[in-house]
Amino acid sequence: MVNEPAGNRPEPVLPHPLPGAVGLSHLSAYDWEAADGVCGGSPHLHLVCTEAYVVTGGRGAVQTLSPDGYRDIPLEPGSVAWFTPGTVHRMVQGGDLRITVLMQNSGLPEAGDAVFTFPPEVLADPERYAAAATLPSGTGPETEAAARRRRDLAVEGHLVLREALLAGDDGPYREFQRAAARLVRDKVPVWRELWRAGALATAERTGAQLDALADGEPDYLDGATAYEAAPTRLGGFGMCGRRDEYALPGTTLPYGGE
């Protein structure tokens, strides 16, 4: 993504976000077998967004890498798992796994807050990284093949990080985090604008409402209403699986994105 000077971009306007300005999507975990014999998605991390899985069907797991080591968290209907920024996560298919994803800071992941666990030589070259991470448009065979190649490359790097952590060496994992931070550094100005217009504005609006209630002037309640949304894309190729997406405030970038 090419960053324009802030003065040349329209400010994002996100007037009616979901509660807490979260993002929402639905995932069906990939059933493609990887080099280690595990079926699932592309391992990656987010730099500033906490992500939550709410399991609505099937069985599986989420594998995570973090400073406290490697975990394999079982997923079944009704279970919830979430992971904070910097946690590498890999969704694993166990059988018809279906998940609702709640993502902090709606709009930031769509603006690039995700880095795959590609091998170090790919992470070190922004152009090579972008070529490996970007999929063709559409949902046809060409896009599926590219998504599988992307997943396999991410698993290749992930397995190295995992084996090192299991051996007590967190050096490769820490270096991956630093490489990820370097890759996204130029995107921070755009992320800051989206955060201010979304999550921060939502929190500040609550503060203003509390002030109004304390003053006995709840005029803001005159604007009470309801909203609805339907999926805008079904079965797209996401990082972890086939993804149903919604056009929600904050998830469509006003001046382009990845």
Residue 82 clears pLDDT 70, i.e. is over it: yes
Instruction: Residue 230: name the closest of 214, 247, 242, 250 by CA.
Output: 247
d(CA 144, CA 30): 11
Residue 253 confidence (pLDDT) above 70: no
For 81-103, what is the mean pLDDT? 97
Q: Please give the pLDDT value at position 81.
A: 98
CA–CA separation, 97 vs 101, rounded Å? 12
Check residue 248 and give its pLDDT.
64
In this prediction the pTM is 0.88
List the single range of 34-38, 48-52, 138-142 with lowest mean pLDDT: 138-142
**What confidence score (pLDDT) does residue 3 get?**
39
- Residue 256, pLDDT > 90, answer no
- What integer pLDDT is reported at residue 136 of this predicted model? 93
Do residues 33 and 94 lie in contact, with contact meaning Cβ atoms separated by under 8 Å? no
Write out pLDDT tens, residues 114-126: 999 999 999 999 9
pLDDT digits (tens, 9 = 90+) for 131-182: 999 999 888 999 999 999 999 999 999 999 999 999 999 999 999 999 999 9
User: Within the chain, how many helices (H) and strands (E) appear?
Assistant: 6, 9
Q: Identify which of 107, 41, 90, 115 has the alpha carbon closest to the alpha carbon of residue 256.
A: 107
What the chain holds in terms of domains, given with CATH numbers, is 18-202+231-246 (2.60.120.10)
> Which helix or strand (DSSP H or E) is residue 177 part of?
helix 171-184
Percent of the residues in the chain that have a pLDDT greater than 90, as a whole number: 78
Contact 249, 106 (CB under 8 A): yes
pLDDT for position 245: 83
SS3 category, 88: strand
Q: What is the pLDDT of residues 191-229, one digit of tens each?
A: 999 999 999 999 999 999 999 999 999 999 999 988 888
253 to 44, 141, 191: CA distances (angstroms): 22, 27, 11
Q: Which tokens belong to 26?
A: 């639905």
pLDDT band at 249; cut points 50, 70, 90: low
Residue with tokens 């990820």: 180
| Segments in the chain forming alpha helices (H) | 120-123, 126-133, 141-166, 171-184, 188-195, 201-214
